[in-house]
Structure formats: structure tokens, C-alpha cells
Amino acid sequence: MNVLLKLSSSRRFWIALVAVVVTALTVAVPQIPAAAVGALQTFALALIAAFTVEDTAGAIASALNQSRRD
């Protein structure tokens, strides 16, 4: 249950879910231009990467602050 709670609060999870929905819509509605779908998927990937870098930088800063206190 803890895993589901963490997933529901993860920004990366929700953006990845949106990307999957967009991809599923292109299968269901093939009239959507491929360029638009590609742009949305690329945007989602860029957001996931940015959030990952932000979270990693925060974890590193937290670890450095903790080591300085010790």
C-alpha cells in the first residue's frame, strides 16, 4: 500500500501516465497528427527528466548538509 501512496504523489508517475494516455489515443484516433503526438511525448520526457534532476539535486544537497552537521 505504501508503494501505491508514493506513486500517487509522484510527479514523474503522473506525467508518464499522461504520455501513455496520449499514445493510447493515437492508436484509438489515428487522425491525430504524428507531429503533435511526438511533441507531447517529448515534452513529457523532458518534464520527467527535469523532475528527476531536481529530485536528485535535492537529495545530494540534503546528504551534504547532513554530513556537514555530523
Q: What is the DSSP letter of 32?
A: S
Coil, helix or strand for 38? helix
Distance CA 48, CA 70 (A): 33
Between the two ends of the chain, the Cα-to-Cα distance in Å is 34
Res. 14: pLDDT tops 80: yes
Coil, helix or strand for 27? helix
Please give the model's pTM, rounded to 2 decimal places: 0.69
Res 27: pLDDT: 87
Mean pLDDT of 35-63: 88
